[in-house]
Amino acid sequence: MPKKDEGKQEKFLTGHLDYLKGSIYPDTSEIRDIKDLYVDLFHENLRYARESMDNWKEDMFPYKEGVFQNGHYTRMYKVPFIENLKIYTGYITGKTENDVYLTKPEFEHCFIEMSGTGLQGYRDYSIAENPDFHLVSRLLSDYDFKPTRVDACIDDFFQHFSLETVAKLVEKGYYGGSIRSNPEIIRSQNGGLTIYLGSRQSELMIRMYNKLAERQNKLFDYYSKEYAKYVMSKDFEQGYINYSEEYREELEAYFYESSNDEKFNLMVQVDKLDGHFRTGVPVDILNLKTWQRYELQLKTEYALNFLKQMIGLEEVRDLDTGFEKEYENVAEIVLDYLKTRFKVLKTRDRKGNRVTQEQLKNNAHKNRLEVWKPWEKFVSNASCIDTSIPVKEPSDFESSMFWKIRQYGETEQIYNWLKARGIAPKFFEADTDIELSTKGKEKAFKYIKRLGLPSEVENKHIRDLFGLDIEIDD
C-alpha cells in the first residue's frame, strides 16, 4: 500500500480487476479433473508437477453438491491457495422423469467466480509479469471464456479531489456524458459515500466510493459491539452486573469516539491480532488517510469487450489522435471509460456566468459548460498510473509477524519452516522444521514469491515446500 509523502511523491493511481465470473470450456483431452484445471489455468508454475499433485489429499479440493449459479451447475469446488476462487461443474442440460439432473461431462463446461480477494490471490502466486492481463489472455484464448460479469477499478490513495465535491456537483445537475439513468448518491455514517452512475441492472454501471470509509465502518461496527461485550463480561467476572441496554450503547459510543490509535488498543484487548482483524481487514487500514475507488461493473457483451480491449483483441482508437491504442494496465482502460462516458461540469460558462440548476434543464445551457478541471486532469493523465506498486491491500506475512511477535500456532510453524531455509523475516529466533498444512503452504508460498529471489533459488524453495522432486518450469 502506498504511503503519502507530501511534496516528494507523485500522486499515482493503481488499477486491477476486482471481480470476474463466467463460463469456461476446457479442452477435455488435456483437462481430466479439478487438479488439471486448477493447475493449468491458475498455477502454471506447477503445471509440470501434475503427477506429484496426485498425492495431494482429496480434501484439498472440497466440493458441495447442489444447484448453483441460478440452477445451471450441480457441483461447487473450492481450491487450495487462492481464497474466494470457486469453480462450478456439472452443467445442467435437463431433467429425467424422476427429477434427476442431466449434465454434461464434468469438465466440458465449467463456471468460475473470482472475487477481489480471489484475484489478488492469483496475483500473489502468478509468475506472469502482468497477472491480470495474463489470466484474461489464457481465459479467452484457451478456455473460450464467456463472462457474465467483470469489475475493474482504480484505487486513489492520494485524493486527487474530494468525492463529496463531485457528489454535490452531480446532485445539482452539473454532469454530462452517455450514462442514461440519473445518478444515485448514497451517504452513510462516518464518511461513507457512493455515487452510482447507470442502472444496477444495466450492462455498464460506474461506481465511485469512499473505500476507506467502507472498510473502516465495517471494522468499527463489528468491534464496537465486541468491545462492549468484552467490557461487560469483565464486569460480570468481578461481580458487577451491568447488562443494561444504555450501558452497552455507552460502551459502543466510547469505542466510536476514540482515535484510531485508541481503537487499535481497544481491539487488541478483545482480539488476538496477527496482521489482520477478526473481520479479515488488515490492521494497516487504520493508518490510511484516504482511499477512493472508481469502479466499472460490466456484464455480458460489455464485459467481453472490456477483456478483449485489455489484450488487444478489440480495437480501441484514441479520440484525439485517431491512432489505435494499446493498454498496459487495467487503470488506463478504466480511465478511458470514465473519460468517454461521464464528465463533471463547471458551474459557470466560458464567459464566467453561473448556469443555474433551472437553466441546466435546457441542454443548450449545459452544453456551454466545460469539464470541471480536476476531473478532466484525473481522467486524462495516464502518466499518473504507477504499475510498479503492488496492487494489494495492506499487510502480508511480514506485517503479521511484526504485529504479533509472540506468535503461536501455524504462523510460527510457517516462520520455522522459512527460518530453517534461511529466508524468514528476522523478528525472533526459531530452529525447528515442521510439515505445513495447506493453508500454511499458501502463506509461505506468497512470502517466497515476494522476495524477488533468483529463479533457480525460488524454484528450489517452492519444490521443497510442495515436496516436488522435479524441475519447475520458469
For the chain, the straight-line distance linking the first and the last C-alpha, in angstroms and rounded, comes to 28
Q: Is the pLDDT of residue 272 over 50?
A: yes
**Cell numbers that stand for 218 in this block:** 465495517
300: in domain: no
Looking at the domain assignment, is residue 260 inside a domain?
A: no
Specify if 19 maps to a domain: no
Highest-confidence segment of 44-48, 212-216, 408-412, 465-469: 212-216
Per-range mean pLDDT, top range of 27-31, 97-101, 299-303 = 299-303
The helix/strand/coil state of 27 is: coil
Per-residue pLDDT for 452 more than 80? no
Predicted confidence (pLDDT) per residue in 278-326, tens digit: 766 777 788 888 999 999 999 999 999 999 999 988 887 776 667 788 8
Quickly state the pLDDT bin for 99 (edges 50, 70, 90). Answer: confident
The residue type at 412: E
Confidence bin at 404 (pLDDT 50/70/90) = very low
Specify whether the CB–CB gap between 330 and 13 falls below 8 A. no
pLDDT at 334: 94
Q: From CA 288, how far away is CA 2, in angstroms rounded?
A: 9
Residue 79 has pLDDT above 60, yes or no: yes
Q: Which residue has the higher pLDDT, 275 or 192?
A: 192
Strand partners, 153: 16, 295
Give the pLDDT of residue 398: 42
Angle of the 245-257 helix axis to the 211-237 helix axis, nearest 10: 130
Distance CA 309, CA 315 (A): 7
Domain that holds residue 462: 397-466
How deeply is 71 buried, as exposed, middle or buried, from its count of CB atoms within 10 A (0-12, 13-18, 19+)?
exposed
Question: Would you say residue 289 lies in a domain?
Answer: no
What pLDDT sits at residue 255? 94
Mean pLDDT of the chain: 82
Is 406's pLDDT higher than 60? no
Helices within 342-422 (DSSP H only)? 363-366, 373-380, 397-403, 409-419
Which of the given ranges, 253-262, 292-301, 361-370, 424-433, has the highest pLDDT on average? 292-301
Q: How many domains in the chain?
A: 2
pLDDT at 402: 36
pLDDT (average), residues 414-442: 63
Strand-strand pairing, 204-210 and 193-197? antiparallel
More confident residue, 284 or 102: 102
Hey, how many other C-beta atoms are within 10 angstroms of the C-beta on 39? Answer: 19
Residues 185, 170: Cα–Cα separation, whole Å: 9
Confirm whether pTM is higher than 0.85.
no
* Among candidate residues 143, 165, 183, the one where a domain is terminated: 143
For residue 428, what pLDDT band results from cuts at 50, 70 and 90? very low
Residue 342 belongs to some domain of the structure: no
321 phi and psi angles, rounded to 5 deg: -100, -25
In this predicted structure, what is the pLDDT of residue 399? Answer: 41
Over the range 182-217, which residues count as b (16 or more CB within 10 Å of their CB) and which as e? ebebeeeeeebbbbbbbeeeeebbbbbbbbbbbbbb
Report the alpha-carbon distance of residue 151 to residue 135 in Å, rounded: 14
Give the helix, strand, coil percentages of the chain, each rounded to 5: 40, 20, 40
Grid cell of 314 as nine digits: 478489440
Is 461 contained in some domain? Answer: yes
User: How far is 208 from 213, CA to CA, in rounded Å?
Assistant: 13
Q: What is the pLDDT of residue 191?
A: 83
Cα separation, 268 vs 322, in Å, equals: 57
pLDDT at 5 over 70: no
Sign of CA dihedral 201, 204, 206, 207: positive
14 domain-assigned? no
The whole-number average pLDDT for the span 69-88 is: 92
- Out of 4-13, 115-124, 240-249, the most confident range is 115-124
**194-250 pLDDT tens trace:** 999 998 889 999 999 999 999 888 889 989 998 998 888 888 878 776 668 889 899
Of 102, 117, 143, the residue that ends a domain is 143
Among candidate residues 143, 161, 177, the one where a domain is terminated: 143
User: Is residue 317, in this structure, part of any structural domain at all?
Assistant: no
State pLDDT tens for residues 155-205.
998 889 999 999 999 999 999 988 878 899 999 877 899 999 998 889 999
Coil, strand, or helix at residue 91? strand
Answer yes or no: is pLDDT of 441 > 70.
yes
Query: What average pLDDT score do residues 405-433 get?
Result: 55
pLDDT of residue 395: 41
C-alpha distances in Å from residue 414, one per residue of 248, 274, 436, 439: 39, 13, 7, 10
Q: What's the rounded mean pLDDT across residues 112-133?
A: 89
